[in-house]
Chain A
């Protein structure tokens, strides 16, 4: 039986709640405080908590470093890609502007294009920030052996 049984049970209860809160912060960013940056950090914290309690190897099996590496680049690509997409989606005669979200949807009255654009780039920010935080954590934590029991 693990000496950290209570920590493990509590962490198992907390981690799903932390992830759900992260997604709430992500998709509620238009209405309340928060956004992709904070949500990315919160979701990374959920994995880091898992790594602290269950060991870094378990976390590496759950979220492999390869995924983290690709995620960091993918987020930047999503963000920059939305900008490139807006360059090509503008109608004839309209000015071509990088990251001009109004081009994403024809409904100008309700600013639907702006909403689409903000949601899309926030997903990019979330992907990059969560991956980068995990990558840095993996890079640091991978250099030390797991915390010995007497140091808990």
Chain B
């Protein structure tokens, strides 16, 4: 039995847990539990990414998805009710047809996907292989992901930082800096 045979059962287990958590999030009415379960969902995703050898992505998912997002969702939940209204019992057939069609299209596309880890897959074959071969000569740092993000695609990363900055700018413009709102409330009291 080789290495891949064992880890694939771990993948199945993680995906099954993701499905279970997803259904629980849809079914639950207690928003605090829902926020916590979204954090659990992110953490399970991170564990799955580690199992797929995407350590950098897993790290980001764990830090942003399970960490910051959960805290921000908790902060948003404090502004609203603790329980959600029960959903209507009516069946939305149009929505069901759209979801079923999209799901069928996804399953139809599965045979066209490259095998996991296939070195000839488009993601690995062209520029990805070039990066793996060139990093020791061009930059000589061990982490190829950092090399691609910071050096080869430095301009893209600059754009991402500007996007993050604009996100904060938007939140600040909409919600204020977090000091003004409370001071006004105190004055009104």
Contact = CB atoms under 8 A, between A and B. Distances in A.
Q: Using C-beta atoms within 8 Å of the partner chain, give the interface range for chain A.
A: 35 or more
A143 B182 contact: yes
A61 interface: no
A27 B81 CA distance: 42
Most buried by B among A45, A139, A144: A139
Q: Looking at B142, B145, B172, which has the most chain A CB atoms within 10 Å of its CB?
A: B172
Contacts of A23: none
A103 interface: no
Interface stretch (B106-114, B121-129, B161-169): B161-169
Interface string B137-170: 0111111011101110011011001101101110
Main secondary structure of the interface of A (DSSP, over half): helix
Given A76-B165, A136-B171, A142-B176, A99 B155 contact: yes
What class of interface size applies to chain B in its complex with A?
Answer: 35 or more
Contacts of B147: 118
B52 interface: no
A129 B75 CA distance: 19
Interface of B: 55-56, 58-60, 63-64, 67-68, 71-72, 75-76, 78-79, 138-143, 145-147, 149-151, 154-155, 157-158, 161-162, 164-165, 167-169, 171-172, 175-179, 181-182
Interface of A: 25, 29-35, 37-38, 41-42, 44-45, 48, 52, 60, 65, 69, 72-73, 75-76, 79-80, 83, 98-99, 101, 110-111, 114-115, 117-118, 121-122, 124-125, 128-129, 131-133, 135-145, 147
